[in-house]
Amino acid sequence: MDGFDLVIRGGTVVTASDTAVADVGVRGGVIAAVGLELGRGRQEIDAAGLLVMPGGIDSHVHLAQPAFGGPAMADGFESGTRSAIAGGNTTVLPFALQGRGESLRQAVEDYHRQADGQSYCDYGFHLIVANPSAATLGQDLPALVAAGYTSLKIFMTYDDLVLNDREILEVFDAAGECGALVMVHCEGYDAIRFMTEKLERSGRMAPYYHAVSRPQTVEREAAHRAISHAELTGVPIMIVHVSGREAMEQIRWAQSRGLKIMGETCTQYISLTAEDLKGLNMDETGSKYVCSPPPRDRPSWDAIWNGIQTGVFQTFSSDHCPFYFEGEMGKKNPKARTGFRWVPNGIPGVAVRMPILWSEGVVKGRITANQFVALTSTNHARIYGLTNKGALAPGYDADIVLWDPARKVTITQALMEHGADYTPWEGFEVTGWPQATILRGEVVMEGGRILGRKDGGRFLPRAVSPMAGRMAGAPLD
Ligand code: DUC
Ligand code: ZN
Ligand code: ZN
């Protein structure tokens, strides 16, 4: 047999299940061997002192998406995926958002046009269903699932996206029929509107009141409602971006009853709080932290860690949803200054997801390195049907991050490689940082230098999720 194209030699290989010193041999972009004293490679990387882990898979990022009723995003595919590889990721799953008057197929075509030749890492698309018409659910959705778009997201809030209960049930039922995995944004529309209008009438307009307008009660109620609809239709769901104890306990309760309910949490819910939204003095700098659900408080971080440690959450994502701070489109634009409701919801974070989870999780003894791999890569691949990704074993794509577990870094905008003009984690100190990112055997980032090409990423049609389908014993069985 020919030699290897690449051998990564002498590192500590960490997967979701095992840790061992080994060499990794790559041929044709695929892992060919993992073992001791492998033969020569045309290219050799000395990984002594580094961890060799599956490249990060961030299954929740927004790129080139017209914002939730507001301005354009700070990242298209080029800058967003550049930031992803800077942070040790090799695959992202952004969204193809259906406008209310648009067909789902049209939305997918539009996002493909924007991503084609503009991606530094591999990518697939989740669908966002905003118009659950008979044509969407009966024709487009099954055809798109068969073509590899095997997951969709729905929203329980936002004027342009919210679905009512009947529509949610119809979407769940249709997803159960064609095997789509449903992700749910759980925050209640009416409660948020009620709170927003009350706050505005009493002059409480600063960015901080964004958090007050959508407390955990609002998230918990919606999570419970989504779980009930999932149970009624017998359709598994993933509750995304869980921010604290209240929604986490709903998921735990559902799981304890044998329901196939999964949970995702994100970087901001273990590292930011609503206090950050106060800015310097209840000023507009607080808008840098406006995202939904909002960050909560330190006891919520503990609850989220508990959910991570006990398996309530399967995935840890960034929910990268970047907007500018300055400028006409920015979070502090004049319109935004007239009230928190105008501040676009979302923050950039694809580059810091892995370092912050490593630093706060592994370094502080809350999770093992193997759990880190499961939470940042392997579980994303398994749940979302990325059958060639998320593992370091022969036959899998050679998507690898070489990780320096002891490197101390102060997070700063210059390291982010994203399109936004700030990072919410400016000055945040971490231990652990990606030394190199390898995409299908090619080194695309090394020592902070981007070496990959903007047309180096491939679109990934995905298999049907092993979690999708109908739960046994559903009322309609
Ligand atoms: N939901 C997301 O998933 N991302 C950002 C904003 C939001 O509401
Ligand atoms: Zn959401
Ligand atoms: Zn999101």
As a whole number, mean pLDDT of residues 79-105 equals 97
* Ligand of minimum distance to the alpha carbon of 317: 3
Tell me: the pLDDT tens digits for 101-139? Answer: 999 999 999 999 999 999 999 999 999 999 999 999 999
- Give nearest CA residue, ligand 1 atom 8: 292
* Domains detected in the chain: 56-362 (3.20.20.140)
Q: Choose the residue to mutate in 266, 345, 353 for probing ligand 1, maximizing ligand atoms within 8 Å of C-beta.
A: 345
Is 180 exposed, middle or buried, given 0-12, 13-18 or 19+ CB atoms closer than 10 A?
buried
Tell me: the pLDDT tens digits for 299-350? Answer: 999 999 999 999 999 999 999 999 999 988 799 986 766 799 999 999 999 9
Alpha-carbon span 214 to 216, nearest angstrom: 7
Distance 403 CA to ligand 3 centre (A): 26
- Tell me if 185 CB under 6 Å of ligand 1: yes
Tell me: the pLDDT tens digits for 394-430? Answer: 999 999 999 999 999 999 999 999 999 999 999 999 9
Comparison of pLDDT for 2 and 94, the residue scoring more: 94
Its pTM stands at 0.98
Is 471 exposed, middle or buried, given 0-12, 13-18 or 19+ CB atoms closer than 10 A?
middle
241 Cα nearest atom in ligand 1:
3
- Tell me if 321 CB under 6 Å of ligand 1: yes
Report, in angstroms and rounded to the nearest whole number, the Rg of the chain calculated over CA atoms: 21
Residue 445, pLDDT above cutoff 80 = yes
Tell me: the pLDDT tens digits for 93-105? Answer: 999 999 999 999 9
Structure tokens at 170: 């119809």
Instruction: Give all strands (DSSP E) within 186-299, no chain letters.
Output: 237-242, 261-266
As a whole number, mean pLDDT of residues 453-468 equals 98
- Tell me if 15 CB under 6 Å of ligand 1: no
- Tell me if 319 CB under 6 Å of ligand 1: yes
- Residue position matching structure tokens 């997070």: 411
Comparison of pLDDT for 436 and 472, the residue scoring more: 436
Query: Which residues, other chains included, contact 85 with Cβ-Cβ below 8 Å and sequence gap of 6+?
Result: 120, 121, 437, 439, 444, 445, 450, 452
Distance 348 CA to ligand 1 centre (A): 11
Distance 180 CA to ligand 2 centre (A): 18
Q: Are 76 and 84 in contact (CB under 8 A)?
A: no
Q: Taking Cα atoms as reference points, which of 87, 96, 62, 16 lies closest to residue 383?
A: 16
- Give nearest CA residue, ligand 1 atom 1: 292
321 Cα nearest atom in ligand 1:
5
